[in-house]
Amino acid sequence: MTRYPSLSYYALSSYLLFTSCGALASTRLEPRLDNGLAITPPMGWNSYNHYSCSPNESIIQSNAKALVDFGLDTLGYRYVTTDCGWTVPYRLPNGSLTWNETLFPSGFPALGQYIHDLGLLFGVYQDAGIKTCGGPPDQVGSLFHEQQDAETFAAWKADALKYDNCYSDAAAGYPDADYTPSTSPSFRYANMTKALASVDRKILFQICDWGVDFPALWAPSLGNTWRISNDIIPAWRTIFRILNQAVPQTSFAGPGHWPDLDMLEVGNNVFTIPEEQTHFSLWAILKSPLTIGAALNDTLTTIRDASLQILKQKDVISYNQDPLGVSASLKRRWTEEGFEVWSGPISGGKTVAALINWADESRNLTLDLPVVGLQHAQTLRNIWDESAATNVRTSYTANVAAHGTMLVELAGTTEAGKYPADIFATSDGHSTTFENIYAETTSSQYQLTIAFAPGSSHSSEITIRTSLGGFKTSAKVQPTESQISVNISLSAGSSNTITISPSPIISYINVTSPSGTYYPCTSFTPVGSAKPETCDAGFCLPVGSKIGYISPTGNASITIPATVVSGSGDNTTAATTTAGKYLEIDYINNDIAFSTSWTTGSNSRNLTISVNGGPPTRIEVPLSGKHSELFGPGRGWWDSATFGVLVDGWRNGENTVVIGNQGGDEGVQPYGADFVGLRLYD
């Protein structure tokens, strides 16, 4: 019984049909897939982020020793990998790789022995090109030497191979970095997969092609981890860029194959402590390998204690190493408000959620539990705040430092929409009031279901009021009915109340969102630069087409009905504020930051939504592409995703909605995303 989903195996087999290595039987690779490694994301240390391509023996030894001295090994950090800079510009006369004897006087086998003697694992680095990254001087790569090099690594007792992608594109004359090769990198990686599978040693295979050719679709069948993006850089903006690239890939994580968000900058003194907490939290819950990239200890440097404590945070490590192996995903981003929420399941029926404060100042921010699919938690642990709460109903508010993250673990939870009376209701004998009722939109179309306590008797007519504009309705109930449903009005937010009178004995209520109305881009009028485009069948879902080139001088507009809810019945007052309505925008963005990753590349694009000529609400969407940007259908520009946003400015009757990129020329993000359609939750 294989530990791996059979899907992986079949993905590999069919993949191999298209490789040039016709002699390779797919059964040959089967053991490689079941190499038993990386059942949880690998953890360790790598020389690159601090030492660049200038490692040496004492550096590796003192950092390996520090992993043990600081107790990091017992927390799971065990792979010690020497990155670029270790080898030389030539091979030995017999064709084998060798190390730089000045930098590694004892040699690589001895380095491996030193690392193994510490109880750690020995990681090596090579490149799927004719030279490795880094230098001068030029150092030989493994392209066309995969078999011999895999045998050498096995002979040296290596436990892991990080495999880079420089100088690899034959058709372009082997440039240092080529982000648009004419053939897929997968073929070169497959050759090393095959070579590693043939040696008598289990070697963790870490694919590092910088995210070129959407490796999530092929790397899991070839390696244990794959880099999703170009390199992390020592600048805070790098976190947003990498997370935007992770968004469409989170579903590809699983035992034996993990998306690699790149090595950690924690401890390199380039981020503040809250920034390091954000970085570490998100890498952990997205199931990235946790590879320390700091100088833990050498003759010049010792990691600062606050950073070390982040790397040692046991709860965060446990989320990364959780046996469920399910990655957190982006739940919602509030672009203008400067925060966003990610979450995912962990074992024991628990949920981990992270709210990132992108703002430059500390703020009290609120996590609405329904955003992560929950209504109530018996217990909440705020990890970085080292605090806890019990009986958390609908929302949890805490202070979050500038660029920091509220990381919470929720247990004993109730699913979103369900409000047990014993938790949410109070009764004064005449009426029962439920508090902390959540609504993502302002609408008269919420469905309230009241579930009466089993065996209870209830009055033949009950009255329901909500906190929105004195909304009131009544319903007749047959004594035999165990539940009734009515439509009610709620306003966007988490502090609605629902009062039911007289006071029947209620077990729980359920509040269901309106289903909304969908407006495909084909119903919009493109203006200026905006251009409609038809996609192949099965793409640009759910519409089959999109409007591109949305810019400061081109938009898509439509006139649609909406209802401004103002309550009803004896207690009616007119709505005093313009009602916020929730929209789900289906968008497409596959503008991947490769060469711009060193500077301003963010992997995001803008859209603005303006209602009735009011001020635009800006959203900055992450990548949506789930196919290769080079060879995939529509080059990944046919894969849509959904972004939810609350927009003001509606009025009763007809409303003009403009999807544009207002202000995009003023420096925020010049390009608009493509627009597929929107759902208005009215």
Query: With contact defined as beta carbons under 8 Å apart, do 60 and 82 qualify?
Result: yes
Active-site annotation holds for 164: yes
Asked if residue 69 binds ligand NAG (CB under 6 A), the reply is yes
Which of 444, 442, 395, 391 lies closest to 416 in space, CA to CA? 395
Q: Is 266 or 498 the residue whose CB approaches ligand NAG more closely? A: 266
For residue 254, the SS3 value is strand
Query: With contact defined as beta carbons under 8 Å apart, do 361 and 380 qualify?
Result: no
Task: Give the Cα separation of 216 and 227 in Å (integer).
Answer: 9
Q: Is 70 or 675 the residue whose CB approaches ligand NAG more closely? A: 70
Rg (C-alpha) for the chain, rounded Å, is: 28
What b/e sequence results for 647-659 when a residue is b if at least 16 CB atoms lie within 10 Å of its CB, and e otherwise? bbbbeeeebebbb
Query: With contact defined as beta carbons under 8 Å apart, do 241 and 622 qualify?
Result: no
Q: Is 30 or 298 the residue whose CB approaches ligand NAG more closely? A: 298
Query: With contact defined as beta carbons under 8 Å apart, do 231 and 46 qualify?
Result: no
**Residues 164-203 close enough to bind ligand NAG by CB under 6 A:** 187-188, 191
Applying CB under 6 A, which part among 65-73, 218-226, 486-494, 670-678 lies near ligand NAG? 65-73
Least distance from ligand NAG to the Cβ atom of residue 193, Å: 10
Least distance from ligand NAG to the Cβ atom of residue 89, Å: 6
Least distance from ligand NAG to the Cβ atom of residue 47, Å: 11
- Measured over the CA atoms of residue 66, residue 72, residue 73 and residue 74, the dihedral's sign is positive
Q: Is 103 or 673 the residue whose CB approaches ligand NAG more closely? A: 103
- Torsion over CA of 293, 298, 304 and 308, rounded to 10 degrees? 50
**Residues 351-380 close enough to bind ligand NAG by CB under 6 A:** 364
Q: Is the peptide bond before 552 cis (omega within 30 degrees of 0)?
A: no
Q: Distance of CA 230 to CAs 80, 227, 241, 242, 535, Å?
A: 22, 8, 10, 8, 28
**Residues 102-131 close enough to bind ligand NAG by CB under 6 A:** 102-103
Burial of 194 (0-12, 13-18, 19+ CB in 10 A): buried
Active-site annotation holds for 536: no
Alpha helical stretches, state H, 356-424: 421-424
Q: Is the peptide bond before 502 cis (omega within 30 degrees of 0)?
A: yes
Asked if residue 57 binds ligand NAG (CB under 6 A), the reply is yes
Q: Is 199 or 558 the residue whose CB approaches ligand NAG more closely? A: 199
- Interface size with ligand NAG, residues (CB under 6 A): 27
Least distance from ligand NAG to the Cβ atom of residue 68, Å: 8
Which of 440, 485, 448 lies closest to 466 in space, CA to CA? 448
Q: Is 161 or 530 the residue whose CB approaches ligand NAG more closely? A: 161
Applying CB under 6 A, which part among 95-103, 309-317, 560-568, 667-675 lies near ligand NAG? 95-103
Strand runs (DSSP E) across 229-373, as ranges? 258-260, 290-292, 329-334, 339-346, 350-357, 363-368
Q: Is 51 or 446 the residue whose CB approaches ligand NAG more closely? A: 51
Asked if residue 388 binds ligand NAG (CB under 6 A), the reply is no
Task: Give the Cα separation of 293 and 264 in Å (integer).
Answer: 5
Asked if residue 96 binds ligand NAG (CB under 6 A), the reply is yes
Q: Which of 59, 219, 530, 535 binds ligand NAG (CB under 6 A)?
A: 59
Q: Is 361 or 666 the residue whose CB approaches ligand NAG more closely? A: 361
* Catalytic member of 73, 127, 164, 674: 164
Helical (H) or strand (E) element with 28: helix 26-33
* Catalytic member of 34, 231, 298, 315: 231
Q: Give the strand pairing for 290-292 and 43-46.
A: parallel
Task: Give the Cα separation of 544 and 649 in Å (integer).
Answer: 29
For residue 515, the SS3 value is coil
Least distance from ligand NAG to the Cβ atom of residue 183, Å: 7
Asked if residue 71 binds ligand NAG (CB under 6 A), the reply is no
CA atoms within 13 Å, Cβ hemisphere of 516: 18
Applying CB under 6 A, which part among 51-59, 321-329, 518-526, 674-682 lies near ligand NAG? 51-59
Task: Give the Cα separation of 312 and 310 in Å (integer).
Answer: 5
Residue 624 one-letter amino acid: S
Q: Is 6 or 299 the residue whose CB approaches ligand NAG more closely? A: 299
CB atoms within 10 A of CB 330: 20
Applying CB under 6 A, which part among 64-72, 210-218, 387-395, 619-627 lies near ligand NAG? 64-72
Task: Give the Cα separation of 189 and 31 in Å (integer).
Answer: 17
Asked if residue 17 binds ligand NAG (CB under 6 A), the reply is no
Applying CB under 6 A, which part among 39-47, 97-105, 522-530, 589-597 lies near ligand NAG? 97-105
Least distance from ligand NAG to the Cβ atom of residue 366, Å: 11
Q: What angle do CA 582, 583, 586 make, to 5 degrees?
A: 155
Task: Quickly list DSSP for 74-115.
Answer: GGT--EEE--SSSB-SS--TTS---B-TTT-TT-HHHHHHHH
Least distance from ligand NAG to the Cβ atom of residue 61, Å: 9
Asked if residue 137 binds ligand NAG (CB under 6 A), the reply is yes
Asked if residue 596 binds ligand NAG (CB under 6 A), the reply is no
Least distance from ligand NAG to the Cβ atom of residue 326, Å: 32
Q: Is 170 or 575 the residue whose CB approaches ligand NAG more closely? A: 170
Q: Is 210 or 434 the residue whose CB approaches ligand NAG more closely? A: 210
Applying CB under 6 A, which part among 54-62, 72-80, 446-454, 597-605 lies near ligand NAG? 54-62
Q: Is 240 or 334 the residue whose CB approaches ligand NAG more closely? A: 334
CB atoms within 10 A of CB 391: 11
Task: Give the Cα separation of 678 and 541 in Å (integer).
Answer: 11
Applying CB under 6 A, which part among 84-92, 304-312, 415-423, 492-500 lies near ligand NAG? 84-92
Asked if residue 94 binds ligand NAG (CB under 6 A), the reply is yes
**Residues 284-303 close enough to bind ligand NAG by CB under 6 A:** 297-299
**Residues 18-37 close enough to bind ligand NAG by CB under 6 A:** 20-21
Least distance from ligand NAG to the Cβ atom of residue 32, Å: 15
Alpha helical stretches, state H, 343-435: 421-424
Q: Which positions are annotated as active-site residues?
A: 164, 231
Site of interaction with ligand NAG (CB under 6 A)? 20-21, 56-59, 62, 65-66, 69, 88-89, 92, 94, 96, 100, 102-103, 137, 187-188, 191, 297-299, 364, 399
